Amino acid sequence: MKKLSEGLLLFFFIFLFTNCTPIAVYDAPESLDEDIRLLIVSEGQFGYGTSSLTSLSYNGNVEQDIFRRVNNRPMGDVAQSVMRIGDLLYVPMNNSRKIEVMNAKTFESVETMPVDRDVIPMYAIHLGGDSIALTDQKPNSQLMIMDINHGTDRQMVRRSFYLGGRSSQMAIVNNKLFVNGDNMSVYDLNNITSEGRRLLIKNDGVSIQNADFSKIVVDKYDRIWVLGYWQVLCIDPVTEKTIHELNVIPLNINTRRSAIDISQDLSTIYFNSARRVYSIDVDDPQIPTEPLFRITRDDQRTVYNMAVSKENTIFFSEVLYGSLSRSRIYEYDLEGNELLSFRAGIFSHALYFY
C-alpha cells in the first residue's frame, strides 16, 4: 500500500510539471528596424488590456504587439493616440487612466504616468519645456496641463478646468493652442486657463463642433483646417474667424465619421467618406463634385481612420464592427491603386508617421 501511494505521488508530480500551463513569456522582436515608417496604435478589446503597437518599416517589415514583446507585459487598456517628444513616445490609455511612456527607438518602457483625475485621456500635445496638455473624452471634459519632468517628485496634473463637452485633438499655431471637441476653443499659450478660453464661432454665430477624433491640420499659409458637422472649415489663427466654410451636404458626406489630413507640401487637404477620398486645393478651396478616388473592395470592414503619409499616399485603418478580429491597414496611391496591406491590432486607430 505504501509503495502504491509513493507511485501515485510520483505520477502526480510528473503530471503536474509536464502538463501545467507555463507562464507566458513573449519573445522580443529579433531586431526592431530603426528605419520605421509608420507606427499603428490599436485600442484592443475594451476592458481586457489588449492595446498594442504595430510598426511598418521602409523595407516592408511589419512587427506586431511590440510593447508587450519588448517589455513582457501588457501596454494597457484602450490606447487612443501617440505623441513624440525627442526620443520618447507618449501613449494615452483612456480606459487605464494613464500615459505609457517609452523609448521611441527600442519601445522599452520609461515610465507609467497615472492621470489622477476622473477623466478619459485621449490626446496629448507638447506645450514646451516640461508641460503637455491632455484632452478628455468625457461629456463634461477637462483640459489638463501635466508635468513630464521624469524622475522627480511632482504633481502629475498641475491644473485642469472643465470645457462643457468632449475634447480631442489639438494644434499649436501662432503661439495659440487650438482644441477640437464638441466646442472648438483657443487659448494663448501663456494663458491656458478657464478664463483664457475663447470659443471659435462660424459665420452664422454657432460654435464650431468637430467631427469625432478629427485632426487639426495646418496648411502652407498657417491656416487651420478642421471637419465640422457637414462642413470643411478653414480658420485664420490670427483673427480666430472662419475664412472658408465648405458645405459637403451635396456630396452626402457625414463628416462626423470622416478624417482629414494634408499633403507633405501642405498644399492639398484630403478627407474621406468611407472609402471615397476627396481633395481640396488650399489656393482654390472648393468642394469637389467627384472623389479623387474610391475603393470598391467587397468586405464588411469600416474605415476607422485615414492619414496621408510623407510620400503622399493614403493609409486606411479598417475595422470590423461587432467583431474582435484584427484591423487591416491599406496603403493607396492618389490614383486609388493598392500598394500594400497588412494586419495590425484590434481596432487600430492612430496612424503615426515617423
- CA 102 – CA 37 distance, rounded (Å): 18
Provide the 8-state DSSP code for 138.
S
C-alpha cell at 298: 467587397
- CA 92 – CA 51 distance, rounded (Å): 11
Instruction: Provide the pLDDT for residue 213.
Output: 81
Beta-carbon contacts of 207 under 8 Å, excluding residues fewer than 6 positions away, are 183, 184, 199, 200, 201
pLDDT at 251 over 90: no
Instruction: Provide the pLDDT for residue 71.
Output: 97
For the four alpha carbons of 112, 113, 118 and 124, in that order, the dihedral sign comes to: negative
For the four alpha carbons of 21, 43, 163 and 217, in that order, the dihedral sign comes to: positive
Tens of pLDDT, residue by residue over 312-340, are 999 999 999 877 889 999 999 999 999 99
pLDDT at 63 over 60: yes
Count of CB atoms within 10 A of residue 153's CB? 5
Tens of pLDDT, residue by residue over 261-281, are 999 999 999 999 889 999 999
| Higher pLDDT among residues 27 and 175, named by residue | 175
Tens of pLDDT, residue by residue over 107-135, are 999 999 988 778 999 999 999 999 999 99
Q: What is the CA radius of gyration of the chain?
A: 23
C-alpha cell at 65: 504587439
Contact by Cβ (8 Å): 317, 332: no
pTM, two decimal places: 0.88
Tens of pLDDT, residue by residue over 212-226, are 788 999 999 999 999
